[in-house]
């Protein structure tokens, strides 16, 4: 309903404002407190340096060397400054202020001017504290010979040093804000879905007029407490309307009744239909919204649990790696990641029957508990083999949760609102992709990698509890559509189609290879080698998820408007490849950030159009096997690409090194995209439009 | 137990997120303070240690054995009084025997510790600073580069623990104040923003009650009134129209059916 949507929007905007102002106030208060606390220590150190230097110069002058002829003074100043970044300048002046030795960021002339203005010669410049001037805290000590001052040492401490130290908290605050806002969004969605549940259920009743079961459900449903009395009252009114309508219809259509009697029911039928529309408003066709929104929170929490280790997992695997005959250390590090992706890839075809047997709710709870156990045991792993085993367990849990989530969407939607339901599901995955790496990085820095896995295990358990609390047990008629078993003959048949083969091998798989090989495997290792902390790496990786969320819907609309999805796939692939070539120009952190950002933009452009090409490439196969099955095969190969990514990156890393490996992957991606364009254009033209994205990794 | 309304749920959820976000921000900020303070402490005492090392090694360069250097006690004492966070300054031989100490009673005793093993290693770096809890140790080398002893700078951990504690209290106070103000604004804001929902729920409840009374034949017909047209008012009106339509249809069908029922 519009009322709930408007309220949600207003509350969300209000929370943004509250969080922004609150965080800024806390950060400002902290800065004031830290400055007051740290400044005495900073100036004390400046004084210490000034005193020591004054003593050293004094000894040299005691030997009779003239002030202006002292040697190596500026080198000494420079060496002290290099070890103390908060010291912006060190200057020594003679008694008249005519000769000066100086080392510092600020120019000698400007420093001398400041010194003249703030401490005129002969006015007793020795200070026990620091004199603030032009962004410096200046500490001065006299150089004396025979108890007579012959010069001064001035040490300029950066007055904004504490502020600069705290400036890096800006990024952490930004991460906390984004995560908080996503959490607020999820909570508001859930609360509003609860509040609007009775009216939507009522709308569903009128959508399926005549179904007595649905009317009974309005009375029998386990409603959220805050709307229970409204739902029950509505149920009673609906039952009354239903009973009266049924008896009137019976009376009017009974044998021997005049034809006019039945016509008198028309205004009543119209009024009931209008009541249905009034209850549903613009959400017509979204009867299962309450149920679908309820699954977002457990899914979000579970995927967040797994995403926490994204920014440091390769580093963790490296810490446990041991020599394996015939494999380079780089490939060994990639094995746990490859295994994880492979298990998730095959969980789809093999997990489907479990969803049918156990129901989505139970499967989700079981999967989340298995995932929690896997994450906890990953935290305790002491060897590569233990890590491989526990990653297998975690991946099995992840795969089951994934299948359960999809199954729940299918059960709670009909063809009219399935795309919306899948968007709800994908939304939870993407929200976790944004939050996970950044929060995980911060946690890893504070409590360590093993501690972060433990937090992940706790979150996975929490998601199981949320699922048990929020999800409704399926009613007998709510069973997932039967999933046909995976038949290799069907796979062979689809792969024999050259256009599908080209789309998989030159489009989907390279896109996933570059995602997992570059972003998940190489980026954390390379960024760490450049001296970045896990939290900085997490923030950079967060950029990918953020751009995907923001740009994917925009790109999908653009494809719908312009058509030619293959063009978007080729351009997206080329862009992600070219983005990595930038590392040839500069191999620093900023270029890595750019490469990650470009990958996000490029994949947002190409992922949805790729799916649009599947039915176009396999018209006959879709007719024979069904579109869902063919798209299922496409997703399977895509995920096999995800599994190959770390392995390929690991294999290239040993002989080529980081930069050349990333460049080689970029060239491979760009070449594959160009080849795909050529292969596609050499065959018939494609229909316009795209299909809604199915959930993926 | 608090009454569970949608408004209460919204309020609790939003305040929970606010509390989590602000305490996380405060905690992360404190971590940065702690790191900055530790770096400041470390570098200040490192400077003191290196400065003293330079002065003592200048004496060693004259060829005197470490234990026979003049004015070392005075040098250490002078240094100690310049910084109230310094607890003691000591010079040991390469075997760990204390040769000079600002705490006189310790002279002649042996000071064991991991630093001694590090110094004993062949080719030990004479500039390497060893850090332990509340103590820095730096080797002292003669002009040939041979490690002949070590300088130990002990500083008060309590002094910096006190600083940390003060800051923690300050930060907790700031966070609490911001949370209280933010909480008050949050409560007022949520109440104000969700007023239409509250109003709609109350109105819908009243309307449903009245309709139930009416359909059970206990009350006069309800009217949606002259309220501005909102979705809830629209729904309520549709509900009334449906109930009225049932009542009308009952009368009309009864009228249409009666003559037929009465005919032979």
This complex has an ipTM of 0.73
Q: How confident is the model at residue A659 (pLDDT cuts 50, 70, 90)?
A: very high
Q: How confident is the model at residue A412 (pLDDT cuts 50, 70, 90)?
A: confident
Q: Do B47 and A49 touch (CB under 8 A)?
A: yes
pLDDT tens digits, residue range A124-172? 555 556 777 777 888 888 888 777 777 888 888 887 777 777 676 677 7
Q: Do B44 and A268 touch (CB under 8 A)?
A: no
Highest mean pLDDT among A198-202, A238-242, A489-493, A511-515: A511-515
Distance CA A46, CA A43 (A): 5
Q: Which residues of A361-390 are buried (b: 16+ CB within 10 A; e: fewer)?
A: bbbbbbbbbbbbbbbbbbbebeebeebbbb
- Residues from chain A that touch B210, judged by Cβ atoms under 8 A, are none
Q: Do B28 and A172 touch (CB under 8 A)?
A: yes
pLDDT at residue B72, as a whole number: 81
Identify the DSSP state of B66.
Answer: G
Q: Do A11 and B194 touch (CB under 8 A)?
A: yes
Which residues are within 8 A (CB) of A207 and not within 5 positions of it... i.e. 6 or more apart?
Answer: A276, A280, A284, A285, A287
Has residue A691 got a pLDDT over 60?
no
Lowest mean pLDDT across A171-175, A252-256, B139-143, B234-238: A252-256
- Residues from chain A that touch B40, judged by Cβ atoms under 8 A, are 38, 41-42, 45
Q: Is A454 or A198 the better-scoring residue by pLDDT?
A: A454
Mean pLDDT across chain A: 80
Q: Minimal Cα distance from B26: which residue of A?
A: A26
Shortest Cα distance from A109 to chain B (angstroms)?
28
Interface test with B, best of A17, A20, A29 (most B CBs within 10 A): A29
Has residue B175 got a pLDDT over 70?
yes
Q: Please report the sign of the dihedral spanned by the C-alpha atoms of residue A190, residue A195, residue A199, residue A201.
A: positive
Give the one of B14, B197, B260 whose C-beta lies nearest to A7's C-beta: B197
Report how far apart, in Å, the C-alpha atoms of B41 and of each of A46, B134, B157, B161 are. Answer: 13, 10, 10, 12
Interface test with B, best of A2, A34, A77, A232 (most B CBs within 10 A): A34
How many other C-beta atoms lie within 10 A of the C-beta of residue A3?
Answer: 18
Interface test with B, best of A57, A238, A268 (most B CBs within 10 A): A268
Give the one of A176, A257, A267 whose C-beta lies nearest to B24's C-beta: A176
Task: Report which of A179, A48, B81, B215 is spatially closest to residue B207, judged by C-alpha positions.
Answer: B215
Q: How confident is the model at residue A688 (pLDDT cuts 50, 70, 90)?
A: very low
Task: Report which of A540, A663, A534, A658 is spatially closest to residue A600, judged by C-alpha positions.
Answer: A540
pLDDT at residue B124, as a whole number: 66
Q: Do B25 and A176 touch (CB under 8 A)?
A: yes
Q: Do A45 and B178 touch (CB under 8 A)?
A: no
Is residue A203 within 8 A of residue A1, CB to CB? The reply is: no
- Residues from chain B that touch A23, judged by Cβ atoms under 8 A, are 21-22, 25
Has residue A572 got a pLDDT over 70?
yes
pLDDT at residue A285, as a whole number: 46
Q: Is B103 or A192 the better-scoring residue by pLDDT?
A: B103
Is residue A198 within 8 A of residue A223, CB to CB? The reply is: yes
Has residue A496 got a pLDDT over 80?
yes
pLDDT at residue A673, as a whole number: 93
Has residue A20 got a pLDDT over 50?
yes
User: Averaged over A282-293, what is the pLDDT?
Assistant: 56
User: Averaged over A565-591, what is the pLDDT?
Assistant: 90
How many other C-beta atoms lie within 10 A of the C-beta of residue A139?
Answer: 27
pLDDT at residue A174, as a whole number: 77
Distance CA A376, CA A391 (A): 10
pLDDT at residue B71, as a whole number: 81
Shortest Cα distance from A35 to chain B (angstroms)?
10
Shortest Cα distance from B112 to chain A (angstroms)?
30
Q: Do B32 and A442 touch (CB under 8 A)?
A: no
Distance CA A172, CA A168 (A): 7
Q: Do B17 and A180 touch (CB under 8 A)?
A: yes
Distance CA A403, CA A411 (A): 12
Q: Do B4 and A226 touch (CB under 8 A)?
A: yes
Give the one of A45, A48, A241 whose C-beta lies nearest to B246's C-beta: A241
User: Averaged over B204-219, what is the pLDDT?
Assistant: 71
pLDDT tens digits, residue range A418-432? 667 777 778 788 888
Q: Do A257 and B230 touch (CB under 8 A)?
A: no
Look up the pTM and report it: 0.72
Q: Do B13 and A187 touch (CB under 8 A)?
A: yes
- Residues from chain B that touch A4, judged by Cβ atoms under 8 A, are 197
pLDDT at residue A694, as a whole number: 39
């Amino acid at each position: 309903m519009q009322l709930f949507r408007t309220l949600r929007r207003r509350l969300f905007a209000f929370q943004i404002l509250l969080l922004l102002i609150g965080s800024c106030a806390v950060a400002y208060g902290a800065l004031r407190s830290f400055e007051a606390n740290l400044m005495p220590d900073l100036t004390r150190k400046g004084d210490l340096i000034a005193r020591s230097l004054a003593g050293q110069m004094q000894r040299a002058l005691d030997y009779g060397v003239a002030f202006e002829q002292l040697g190596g003074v500026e080198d000494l100043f420079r060496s002290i400054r290099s070890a103390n970044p908060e010291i912006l300048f060190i200057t020594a002046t003679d008694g008249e202020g005519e000769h000066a030795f100086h080392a510092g960021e600020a120019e000698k002339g400007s420093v001398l001017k400041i010194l003249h203005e703030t401490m005129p010669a002969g006015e007793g410049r020795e200070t026990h504290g620091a004199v603030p001037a032009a962004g410096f805290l200046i500490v001065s000590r006299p150089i004396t010979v025979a108890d007579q001052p012959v010069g001064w040492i001035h040490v300029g401490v950066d007055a904004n040093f504490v502020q600069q130290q705290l400036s890096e908290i800006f990024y952490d605050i930004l991460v906390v804000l984004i995560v908080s806002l996503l959490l607020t969004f999820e909570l508001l969605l859930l609360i509003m879905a609860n509040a609007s549940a009775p009216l939507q259920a009522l709308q569903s009743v009128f959508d399926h007029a005549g179904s007595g079961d649905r009317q009974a459900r309005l009375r029998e449903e386990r409603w959220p407490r805050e709307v229970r009395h409204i739902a029950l009252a509505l149920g009673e009114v609906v039952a009354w309307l239903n009973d009266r309508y049924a008896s009137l219809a019976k009376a009017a259509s009974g044998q021997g009744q005049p034809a006019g009697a039945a016509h008198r029911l028309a205004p009543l039928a119209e009024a009931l239909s209008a009541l249905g529309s009034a209850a549903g408003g613009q959400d017509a066709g979204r009867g299962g919204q309450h149920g679908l929104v309820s699954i977002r929170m457990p899914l979000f929490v579970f995927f967040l649990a797994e995403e926490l280790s994204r920014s440091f997992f390769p580093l963790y695997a490296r810490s446990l790696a041991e020599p394996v005959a015939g494999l380079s250390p780089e490939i060994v590090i990639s094995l746990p990641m490859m295994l994880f992706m492979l298990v998730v890839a095959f969980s789809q075809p093999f997990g489907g029957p479990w969803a049918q047997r156990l129901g989505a709710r139970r499967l989700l709870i079981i999967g989340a508990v298995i995932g929690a156990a896997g994450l906890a045991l990953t935290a305790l792993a002491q060897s590569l083999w233990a890590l491989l085993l526990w990653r297998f367990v975690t991946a099995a849990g992840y795969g089951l949760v994934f299948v359960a989530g999809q199954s729940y969407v299918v059960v709670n939607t009909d063809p009219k609102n399935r795309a919306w339901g899948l968007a709800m599901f994908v939304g939870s995955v993407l929200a976790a992709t944004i939050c996970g790496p950044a929060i995980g990085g911060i946690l890893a820095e504070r409590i360590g990698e093993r501690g972060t896995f433990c937090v992940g295990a706790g979150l996975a358990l929490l998601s199981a509890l949320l699922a048990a609390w929020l999800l409704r047990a399926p009613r007998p008629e709510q069973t997932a559509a039967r999933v046909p078993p995976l038949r290799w003959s069907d796979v062979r048949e689809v792969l024999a189609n050259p256009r599908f083969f080209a789309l998989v091998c030159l489009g989907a798989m390279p896109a996933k290879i570059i995602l997992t090989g570059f972003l998940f495997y190489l980026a954390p290792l390379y960024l760490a080698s450049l001296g970045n902390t896990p939290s900085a790496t997490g923030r950079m990786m967060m950029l990918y998820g953020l751009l995907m969320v923001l740009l994917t819907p925009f790109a999908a609309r653009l494809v719908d408007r312009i058509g030619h999805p293959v063009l978007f796939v080729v351009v997206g692939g080329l862009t992600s490849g070219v983005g990595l070539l930038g590392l040839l120009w500069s191999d620093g952190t900023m270029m890595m950030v750019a490469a990650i950002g470009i990958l996000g933009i490029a994949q947002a452009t190409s992922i949805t159009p790729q799916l649009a090409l599947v039915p176009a490439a396999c018209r006959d196969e879709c007719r024979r096997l069904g579109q869902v099955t063919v798209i299922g095969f496409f997703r399977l190969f895509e995920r096999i690409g995800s599994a190959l990514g770390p392995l390929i990156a690991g294999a290239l890393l040993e002989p080529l090194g980081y930069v050349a490996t990333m460049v080689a992957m970029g060239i491979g991606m760009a070449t594959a995209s160009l080849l795909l364009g050529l292969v596609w254009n050499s065959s018939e033209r494609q229909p316009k439009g795209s299909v809604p994205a199915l959930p993926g990794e | 137990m608090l009454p569970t309304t949608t408004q209460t749920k919204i309020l609790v959820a939003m305040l929970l997120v606010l509390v989590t976000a602000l305490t996380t921000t405060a905690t992360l900020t404190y971590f940065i303070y702690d790191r900055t303070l530790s770096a400041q402490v470390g570098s200040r005492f490192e400077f003191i240690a290196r400065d003293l090392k330079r002065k003592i090694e200048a004496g060693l360069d004259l060829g005197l054995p470490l234990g026979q250097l003049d004015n070392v006690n005075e040098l250490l004492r002078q240094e100690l009084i310049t910084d109230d966070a310094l607890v003691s300054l000591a010079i040991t031989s390469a075997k760990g025997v204390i040769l000079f100490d600002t705490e006189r009673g310790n002279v002649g005793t042996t000071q064991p510790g991991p630093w001694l093993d590090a110094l004993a290693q062949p080719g030990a770096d004479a500039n390497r600073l060893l850090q332990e809890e509340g103590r820095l140790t730096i080797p002292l080398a003669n002009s040939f580069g041979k490690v002949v002893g070590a300088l130990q700078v002990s500083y008060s951990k309590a002094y910096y623990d006190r600083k940390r504690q003060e800051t923690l209290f300050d930060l907790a106070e700031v966070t609490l104040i911001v949370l209280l103000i933010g909480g008050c604004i949050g409560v007022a804001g949520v109440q104000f923003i969700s007023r239409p929902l509250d109003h709609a729920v109350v109105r819908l409840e009243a309307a449903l009650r009245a309709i139930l009374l009416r359909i059970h034949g206990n009350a006069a017909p309800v009217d949606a009134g002259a309220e501005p047209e909102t979705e809830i008012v629209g729904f309520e009106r549709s509900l009334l129209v449906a109930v009225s339509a049932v009542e009308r249809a009952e009368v009309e069908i009864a009228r249409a059916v009666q003559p037929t029922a009465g005919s032979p």
